[in-house]
Amino acid sequence: MELRIQNLSKRYPNGTQALQDVTLTIKPGMFGLLGPNGAGKSTLMRTLATLQEADSGSALLGDIDMLKDKDAVRRVLGYLPQDFGLYPKVTAEELLNHLATLKGISNPFERKKVVDALLHQTNLHHARRKQLGGFSGGMRQRFGIAQALLGNPKLLIVDEPTAGLDPEERVRFHNLLSEIGQDVIVILSTHIVSDVRDLCPQMAVLNGGRVLLTGAPEDIIARLEGRIWKKFVDKAELAGLQSALPVISHRLLMGRTLVHVYSESAPDGSFSPAVPDLEDAYFATIKGHLAQDAASAPRTAVG
């Protein structure tokens, strides 16, 4: 099953164009949707999750028309929203059991089996009798995946799931996502480049409601070969450098400022070549140096 989004657009009543002609083809496996805050990621995720309407365009999941046949979507959808509210006084086991009933698993024995399996899968079995209000951030997010996996979804949408997790919890969460079946389409929406780098064989960059680039991270990075140049500068030099050269990123490294510049050749003798990574690719895309190349662009339907 494939997810085909074509020319999806959405403008909010206040005039914000949150999505503009978004076209994406997403195959089973992990797909990273990367973009800064305000890019339109949540709008796209909520639209696919049948929670809000698009103005125009289409989204097909296999042969389900997602914008029209919402009941059919809900039968195959798992969703972990960005703001995931929990009932603090209820235990993990109780809430999963309740949600499983709502999902239509009416046989209590079967329900217990499903709930137990999900608690094990998400490493929460030991905490099943704990009130959700006492869960850590990582446990909450793993519980979020447990509820999203109820009913064996074919499309799993996770919206910024690792924001606020500590490094250890993030690794656990990554492991959990990476173990989800190969035949499930998993869309991971995030502004964290390393989430996509660690997990996703396919990705897109969204900014200002538009898809700037899609492809495999390694192909995208390969396009930057020989075009990223680095140099340590003093903080005071940074502003001058930014107005003179296409600086794509700067960060502190051991107390000094490391600058990455996009350039077809060495800007001057003081720069040395950098091995490009996904972060460079992301910033180069956001800053307009890297765009969809014809070879990897999704082909538009003919006929």
- Binding positions for ligand ATP, rule: CB under 6 A: 12, 14, 16, 18, 35, 37-43, 160, 191
Looking at the Cβ atoms of 38 and 62, the one nearer to ligand ATP is 38
CA atoms within 13 A on the CB side of 250: 18
Comparison of 35 and 138: residue with beta carbon closer to ligand ATP? 35
Provide, rounded to whole angstroms, the least separation between the CB of residue 72 and ligand ATP.
24
Smallest distance, Å, CB 42 to ligand ATP? 3
Of 161 and 276, CB closest to ligand ATP? 161
Nearer to ligand ATP, 96 or 212 (CB): 212
Give 35 or 276: the residue with its C-beta nearer to ligand ATP.
Answer: 35
Q: Cβ closer to ligand ATP: 122 or 189?
A: 189
For ligand ATP, the closer CB: 127 or 156: 156
User: Of 43 and 285, which has the nearer Cβ to ligand ATP?
Assistant: 43
Q: DSSP readout, the chain?
A: --EEEEEEEEE-TTS-EEEEEEEEEE-SEEEEEE--TTSSHHHHHHHHTTSS--SEEEEEETTEETTT-HHHHHHHEEEE-SS----TTSBHHHHHHHHHHHTT---HHHHHHHHHHHHHHTT-GGGTTSBGGG--HHHHHHHHHHHHHTT--SEEEEESTTTT--HHHHHHHHHHHHTS-TTSEEEEEES-HHHHHHH-SEEEEEETTEEEEEE-HHHHHHTTTT-EEEEEE-HHHHHHHHHHS-EEEEEEETTEEEEEEE-SS-SSTT-EE----HHHHHHHHHTTS----TTTSPPPP--
Question: Closest distance between ligand ATP and the C-beta of residue 68, in Å?
Answer: 22
In angstroms, what is the minimal distance from the CB of 47 to ligand ATP? 9
Q: How far is the CB of 16 from ligand ATP (least distance, A)?
A: 4
CB of 18 to ligand ATP, least distance (A): 4
**How far is the CA of 174 from the CAs of 63, 143, 197, 236, in angstroms?**
30, 14, 11, 38
Report which residue type is found at 262: Y
**Shortest separation between residue 17's beta carbon and ligand ATP, angstroms:** 8
What tokens were used for 77? 């959808």
Q: Which residue is nearest to ligand ATP (CB)?
A: 42
Beta carbon of residue 46, minimum distance to ligand ATP (angstroms, whole number): 8
Please state, in angstroms and rounded to a whole number, the distance separating the CA atoms of residues 144 and 139: 8
